[in-house]
Amino acid sequence: MKIGDNDWNLAPFGQHVWRGRMETGQLLALARAVKEAGGQLVALWGSDDRHLAPDTQAQPAPLASRERGGFSIHVALLTGSGLAWASCALPADAPAYPDLAHIFPQADRMQRATFDLLGIRATDAVDDRKWLRHGAWPADVFPLRKDFDPGRPPTRDTDAYPFIRVEGEGVHEIPVGPIHAGTIEPGHFRFSIIGERVLRLEARLGYTHKGTEKRFEGMDLDTGAKLAGRVSGDSHVAYAWAYCMAVERAAGSGVPERAAWLRALFLEIERVANHLGDLGYLGNDVALSFGFMQFWRLKEDWLRLSAKLFGHRYLFDRIVPGGVAVDIGDAGRAELAAEADRIEAEVRSLKAIYDEHATLQDRFANTGIVKPELAARLGLTGLAGRASAQAWDARAQFPQAPYDQLDVGMATHRRGDVLARAEVRFAEIHESLRLIREMLKRLPAGAIRAPLAPAAAVCEGLGWVEGWRGEVVVAVRIGADGRLDRVHPHDPSWQNWPLLEVGVLGNIVPDFPLINKSFNLSYSGQDL
């Protein structure tokens, strides 16, 4: 589907992003057309627009083409032309829009969360169970509405979540969580099993709800960048970059060329760190403690070098609106390039050990399979999607600067099992290290930060970055006072958690930790 070849009222809105406002019936038709053309739903969220004046205009795109005064529903759709950001105005009383989960199943939890936070309902939805509320607010209170009173004490009603039950002779349930034995964040997993085989898994998340989206309201742009980077700490660079990209597009500002290259450098450093850690954890989950220790030794070396060169192990607050907060000198470039060479050689040796380890291969292969057909139907994305033949990578297909000058190689696989997800990680480490060396060689001279143009009116922007886990999208609306009015950060874990529930079916219960780690999804990133 080519966005420019239709009458969806979508206009260019920055590189590889299209923007349009439409009626709810048009939104439904657009969603069907995108699905039929092989595209996917990336994100769905809402906004309370009742405080905006009817004649408010958002630059560079109109905030409204007709009188406002209610709410809006927004979707980001991945198409062959790029990302389509479509919005529909909804009435102030009983705001509703057509259910999209029958077209894109991954919309289900996003729709439920949108109702929980804003009271915007998806009509005719099959699943309308609460997702984020957990009995914390009365039924008629919605915390993302502008008239929400944050000082109002929560209501702790009995939380009897209606899990779907599997019944039959020999079937029983194993509830796991929400509090776990390790340091991972809370999540409840309800297994229905017969013997050791999993018949059904249903997860309930949302236990780490922190009010992140509400906290953005009224923040200045620089402070907003700090909060955005903390949506999911293992993806700090991806979120900070996506947020800053959105703010810069809203303000109509650019960044110096050197800053763009440094942002990409930070993103690839983050990708390498996460893949190293996950490959170690995967070895540990099949009792190969040697693999865990070796990969984490490499990750620790990598993080310490990040701290030495850039001032923070995980590169927190290195990306700021208008550019970056730290530079790298010639000596640092040489040291980072040498470390990339060393890491690559050691990873190659460790992969040979993983490839030849019979027990590891036996546990990885044919475990936690998500077949390509199912992955496409249910919207599996990012790293896990590429391991199931879903060939989407924004760095390669819709490159922002400097990726448009780097010819990124996309790693894909078709098996869709734990082994395939490990193979994609290995390939992406090597590609990221190659990109890092290339960036260090070609890093242009110049400034690393430029001032943002001040906002003279309400304006909006969207940032889109291929993080290590998958695409990270951040939508921003800035008020006429120059402060944040609405921010929605979207993590790819929204799409992928339901696929974990599918991938575990037919496997034995002891394989769940291995399958879970092979996806390594974020709890915090989708609990806003």
**What confidence score (pLDDT) does residue 526 get?**
85
Q: Taking residues 442-453, what's their average pLDDT?
A: 96
CA–chain centroid gap for 267, Å, is: 14
pLDDT at 394 over 80: yes
Percentage, residues of the chain above pLDDT 90: 82
**What confidence score (pLDDT) does residue 291 get?**
97
pLDDT at 508 over 90: yes
**What confidence score (pLDDT) does residue 4 get?**
55
Q: Within 13 Å and on the Cβ side, how many CA atoms surround 247?
A: 31
**What confidence score (pLDDT) does residue 2 get?**
62
CA distances from 210 to 119, 207, 438, 488, 523 (A): 18, 9, 39, 14, 12
**What confidence score (pLDDT) does residue 8 get?**
78
For CA atoms 45, 46, 52, 57, the dihedral sign is: positive
pLDDT by residue (tens digit) across 137-184?
A: 788 889 999 999 877 777 766 567 889 888 888 899 999 888 887 777
**What confidence score (pLDDT) does residue 59 get?**
43
End-to-end distance of the chain based on CA atoms, in angstroms? Answer: 32
Using a 10 angstrom Cβ sphere, with 0-12 exposed, 13-18 middle and 19 or more buried, the burial of residue 140 is exposed
User: In this structure, what DSSP letter does residue 158 have?
Assistant: -
What is the pTM for the complete model shown?
Answer: 0.95
**What confidence score (pLDDT) does residue 60 get?**
42
More confident site: 287 or 57: 287
pLDDT by residue (tens digit) across 402-436?
A: 999 999 999 999 999 999 999 999 999 999 999 99
Calculate ∠ Cα 312-314-319, nearest 5°: 80
Domain spanning 212-491+510-520+522-526: CATH superfamily:
Cytochrome-c3 Hydrogenase, chain B (1.10.645.10)
Answer whether 3-132 and 212-491+510-520+522-526 agree in fold: no
CA–CA dist 208, 427 (Å, integer): 33
**What confidence score (pLDDT) does residue 214 get?**
94
Domain spanning 3-132: CATH superfamily:
NADH:ubiquinone oxidoreductase Nqo5 subunit (3.30.460.80)
Interacting residues of 132 by C-beta distance below 8 A, sequence separation 6+ = 112, 113, 116, 117, 206, 209, 527
CA–chain centroid gap for 260, Å, is: 21
pLDDT at 63 over 50: no
Q: Where are the domains of the chain?
A: 3-132, 212-491+510-520+522-526
Q: Taking residues 180-189, what's their average pLDDT?
A: 82
Token pair for 266: 């930070």
- Residue 493 region, left (φ>0) first, then alpha (ψ -120 to 50), else beta? alpha
**Band of residue 57 on the pLDDT scale cut at 50, 70, 90:** very low
Look-up of token digits 């958690």: 497
**What confidence score (pLDDT) does residue 64 get?**
40
